[in-house]
């Protein structure tokens, strides 16, 4: 119930709504590039008096204040910016819109060692900036104790001896929304998180509507995109082409982490290669309504590798590859349970007969799933309403929606969480005509049908 409540809360709050609500500001401060302002004038409260040092302006701002940073400039940091009040730091583009493309904060690596921000207030917000060339022991760009980051591009930052190449989330709660996190590196051996690291304790942390691509870990690292050891909800994200040098090319997640409505594609687990898309550790980790395709593991679990009990609901796990066992799913370590429901596991590649899944322990149930071959080991796996026919994707490599003759149409089992849910294309999970959910990450909509979505 708690997870469902948090999911509804997250998805019910859009960035457009967030920015449309006027920010009740005690004082507005203004920052421009040094080339645009020969003589800043205290108290820097209009563009004519604007300061050129963002660090100094943030240091004097307090609760409900806003610091506006003009676009078409690169700001070179000499230290990190600490935001300890319920205030906003944001870009100012034409007409006052956010402009992350042209408002750049540089940590100046390799010429200096600076992360960009530490946020330690629940009301602290950073919006509409490009944060690049940060370099710190942990949290290469942002050390997020409390607060929110929205509409930012976090690119080419490094955590050089610890975790969180882009962002480290620790102790408190908050979120990262509508951001692009790419090309960041966590070089720590072991626990890493190329894009994000989420600590144990604190939370929930929300990562929503983000593109997390091309991040990586150092030797022995886990979680090319995200390494979540704490309470987190990952929703409506694109997790693409990340590399975990030891395991979890995409996401490393524990029991208190859930992933919803996301695309997990083209990620790689090198080294021992455990889980190209996911590595799940901790009883009860949940993946729902996700497309997990074209991931690779050099060890086991091309799509995902799990250590303990887990749940998968309405996912499509296809075209993943592993050199070892379990091209789609690998679960053969600690006895527990697997609950796999309304899910298609098809066209994955692994050694021997374990192309789609390799499950040898625990009490596991496949309910209304589509996969083949079905291994009838009644001690380990219970099959309920299994489909072994080809799911009939539009394209087996690039388009995993269903064709009109797919056996997965109207073949799922309805659940309470589907009442207001949509598939990855924006179609209702349970429409007003067929009233039965399809198997996989997509609902089929016949031509001419009227639907409520998007």
Q: What pLDDT, on a 0 to 100 scale, did the predictor assign at position 238?
A: 98
Q: What pLDDT, on a 0 to 100 scale, did the predictor assign at position 426?
A: 93
Residue 292 lies in a domain: yes
Q: pTM, whole model, 2 decimals?
A: 0.92
Q: What pLDDT, on a 0 to 100 scale, did the predictor assign at position 3?
A: 42
Q: What pLDDT, on a 0 to 100 scale, did the predictor assign at position 447?
A: 63
Q: What is the DSSP string of 184-204?
A: -EE--SSB--SSEEE-SSS--
Q: Sheet holding 243-244: strands in order across?
A: 135-136, 158-159, 185-186, 216-217, 243-244, 268-269, 296-297, 321-322
Q: What pLDDT, on a 0 to 100 scale, did the predictor assign at position 377?
A: 58
Residue 110 lies in a domain: yes
Residue 383, SS3 per DSSP:
strand
- Six-digit token pair at 357? 């899944």
Contacts of 93 (CB under 8 A, 6+ apart): 71, 99, 102, 103, 128
Q: For 18, phi and psi rounded to 5 degrees?
A: -60, -45
Residue 119 lies in a domain: yes
Residue 153 lies in a domain: yes
Residue 398 lies in a domain: no
Evaluate whether 259 touches 253 at the Cβ level (below 8 Å).
yes
Q: What pLDDT, on a 0 to 100 scale, did the predictor assign at position 318?
A: 98
Residue 251 lies in a domain: yes
Q: What pLDDT, on a 0 to 100 scale, did the predictor assign at position 42?
A: 96
Q: What pLDDT, on a 0 to 100 scale, did the predictor assign at position 202?
A: 80
Range of the domain at 223: 2-25+65-337+346-355
CATH number at residue 332: 2.160.20
Residue 248 lies in a domain: yes
Ranges in the chain, pLDDT < 70: 1-25, 190, 352-353, 376-379, 447-454
- Six-digit token pair at 453? 């979505």
Q: What pLDDT, on a 0 to 100 scale, did the predictor assign at position 8?
A: 37
Evaluate whether 419 touches 426 at the Cβ level (below 8 Å).
no
Distance CA 213, CA 241 (A): 6
Strands in 294-360 per DSSP E: 296-297, 304-306, 310-313, 316-318, 321-322, 329-331, 337-341, 344-346, 357-359
- Six-digit token pair at 250? 């995409």
Strands in 336-404 per DSSP E: 337-341, 344-346, 357-359, 363-367, 370-371, 381-384, 393-395, 399-402
Evaluate whether 195 touches 221 at the Cβ level (below 8 Å).
no
Residue 18 lies in a domain: yes
- Six-digit token pair at 322? 């592993």
Residue 127, SS3 per DSSP:
strand
Q: What is the 3-state secondary structure (H, E, C) of 137-157?
A: CCCCCEEEEEEEEECCEEECC
Domain count, the chain: 1
Q: What pLDDT, on a 0 to 100 scale, did the predictor assign at position 425?
A: 92
- Six-digit token pair at 161? 């001896």
Q: What pLDDT, on a 0 to 100 scale, did the predictor assign at position 121?
A: 97
Q: Sheet holding 238-240: strands in order across?
A: 73-76, 103-106, 130-132, 153-155, 180-182, 211-213, 238-240, 263-265, 291-293, 316-318, 344-346, 370-371
DSSP state at residue 222: B
């Amino acid at each position: 119930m708690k997870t469902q409540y948090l999911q509804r809360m997250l998805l019910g709050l859009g960035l457009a709504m967030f920015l449309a609500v006027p920010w009740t500001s005690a004082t507005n401060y203004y920052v421009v590039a040094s080339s645009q302002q020969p003589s800043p004038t205290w108290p820097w409260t209009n563009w004519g008096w604007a300061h050129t040092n963002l660090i100094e302006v943030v240091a004097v701002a307090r609760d409900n204040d806003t610091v506006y940073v003009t676009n078409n400039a690169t700001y070179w940091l000499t230290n990190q910016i600490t935001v300890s009040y319920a205030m906003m730091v944001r870009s100012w583009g034409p007409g006052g819109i956010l402009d992350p493309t042209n408002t750049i904060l540089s940590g100046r690596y390799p010429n200096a060692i600076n992360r960009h921000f530490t946020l330690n207030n629940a009301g602290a917000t950073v919006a509409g900036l490009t944060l690049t060339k940060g370099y710190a022991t942990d949290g290469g760009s942002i050390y997020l104790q409390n607060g929110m980051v929205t509409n930012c591009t976090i690119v080419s930052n490094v955590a050089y001896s610890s975790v969180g190449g882009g962002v480290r989330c620790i102790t408190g709660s908050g979120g990262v929304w509508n951001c692009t996190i790419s090309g960041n590196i966590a070089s720590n051996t072991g626990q890493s998180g190329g894009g994000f690291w989420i600590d144990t304790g604190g939370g929930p942390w929300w990562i929503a509507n983000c593109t997390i691509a091309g991040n990586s870990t150092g030797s022995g690292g886990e979680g090319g995109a995200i390494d979540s050891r704490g309470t987190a909800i990952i929703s409506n994200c694109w997790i693409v082409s990340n590399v975990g040098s030891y395991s979890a090319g995409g996401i490393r997640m524990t029991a208190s982490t859930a992933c919803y409505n996301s695309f997990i594609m083209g990620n790689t687990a090198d080294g021992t290669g455990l889980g190209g898309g996911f590595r799940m550790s901790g009883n009860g980790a949940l993946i729902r309504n996700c497309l997990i395709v074209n991931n690779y593991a050099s060890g086991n679990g091309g799509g995902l590798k799990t250590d303990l009990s887990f749940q998968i609901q309405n996912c499509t796990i296809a075209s993943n590859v592993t050199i070892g066992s379990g091209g789609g799913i690998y679960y053969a370590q600690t006895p527990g349970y697997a609950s796999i429901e309304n899910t298609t596991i098809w066209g994955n590649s692994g050694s021997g007969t374990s192309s789609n899944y390799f499950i040898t322990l625990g009490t596991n149930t496949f309910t209304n799933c589509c996969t083949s071959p079905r291994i009838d080991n009644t001690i380990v796996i219970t099959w309920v309403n299994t489909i072994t026919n080809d799911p009939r994707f539009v394209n087996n490599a690039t388009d995993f929606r269903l064709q009109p003759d797919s056996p997965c149409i109207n073949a799922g089992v309805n659940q309470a969480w589907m009442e207001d849910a949509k598939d990855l294309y924006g179609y209702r999970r349970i429409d007003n005509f067929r009233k039965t959910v399809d198997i996989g990450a997509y609902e089929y909509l016949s031509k001419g049908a009227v639907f409520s979505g998007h």
